[in-house]
Amino acid sequence: MDGVLVVDKPPGPTSHDMVDRTRRAFGLRRVGHTGTLDPFATGVLPLCLGRATRLARFLGEGEKVYRATVRLGFATATDDLTGAPLTNPREVSLDEGAVGQALAQLVGTLAQVPPAYSARRVEGHRLYELARRGEAVPRSARAVTIHGIELLGFEGDQAEIEVRCSPGTYIRALARDVGETLGVGGHLTALRRTRSGDFGLEGAVPGDDIAAGRDRVVPLGKLLPAVPAVWVGPAGRDRIRHGRDLGPGDVLSGFPEGAVERVRVLDESGNLLALAVPRGTGPSGAPAVEPVLHPDLVFVG
């Protein structure tokens, strides 16, 4: 079985727990995910099955969408509800306008400092490993992009928000940062991912009934729809199988006329044969030498 199963992860299990459940449910060895969700978080968790695991790095590149609850008044050691409070709770006397302005300051490309308890590596060690040992180390900021934050509601010390962001963004860190901006502290109390790249809740199966998703697996040929497709017949399929380049005469349709980063090579039935990288085109897209498509990842044996 090859493809992607989109799971609506329930609260409690880790992302790796969901991988193990899927291995058992489908009798597969090769299963992976495209982006970790914390145990208390819920929502979209795309799981790559079989040969789709080789596409995980591409499938995880898309925009993420989250709904989250931020509690204002104090920060925690983990930037979420699982950590010990760093201060006594403060009274929060803010209005919706002030919270909205603080959130607006976080939109755009920014240097985000990861949570102390996170999987980011420092000199070969996970930050959470160092934090659990009581070792304080500098945490280097990394550029992330917040495409938009919408304040869905604010009452008392609770702010409900929706975030559209780049991969690698820590929503826990956003909760911490908006609390710091408002001068009252803050942390994340609930998180639900509603979209990860091409995958949304509308195509997800319940995480407590993964076996029911056997007919919901997205096949290889339907993945990465934004990547241009090139169609080949039996002769082109044979060239791909042997790792040979494809010239314009080896494809039925779709050979790129301009510069593109990569293409999907499909057979006449829509099965994914390979991802290929164009070679022989100049910066403007005009051919400099005989252009070819070089197989990068091959899925046909």
**Per-residue confidence (pLDDT) for residue 300, from 0 to 100:** 87
Supply 60's token pair.
């995880």
- CA-CA distance, 203 to 194, in Å (whole number)? 11
Supply 155's token pair.
């009452």
Burial class (CB in 10 A: 0-12, 13-18, 19+), 244: middle
Supply 196's token pair.
């990860």
Supply 88's token pair.
């006594």
Contact assessment for residue 40 and residue 11, using Cβ atoms and an 8 Å cutoff: yes
Element spanning 150, H or E: strand 142-155
Instruction: Tell me whether residue 215 is one of the annotated catalytic residues.
Output: no
- CA-CA distance, 254 to 1, in Å (whole number)? 28
Annotated active-site residue in 2, 8, 38, 177: 38
Sign of CA dihedral 151, 153, 159, 162: negative
Residue type at 157 in one-letter notation: D
Partner residues linked to 16 by β-bridges: none
- CA-CA distance, 243 to 86, in Å (whole number)? 57
Q: pLDDT tens, position by position, for the chain (301 residues)?
A: 899 999 999 999 999 999 999 999 999 999 999 888 999 999 999 999 999 999 999 998 899 999 999 999 999 999 999 999 999 999 899 999 999 999 999 999 999 988 876 666 665 666 556 556 565 666 678 899 999 999 999 999 999 999 999 999 999 999 999 999 999 999 999 999 999 999 999 989 999 899 888 889 999 999 999 999 999 999 999 999 999 999 999 999 999 988 899 999 999 999 999 999 998 765 555 555 688 999 999 998 7
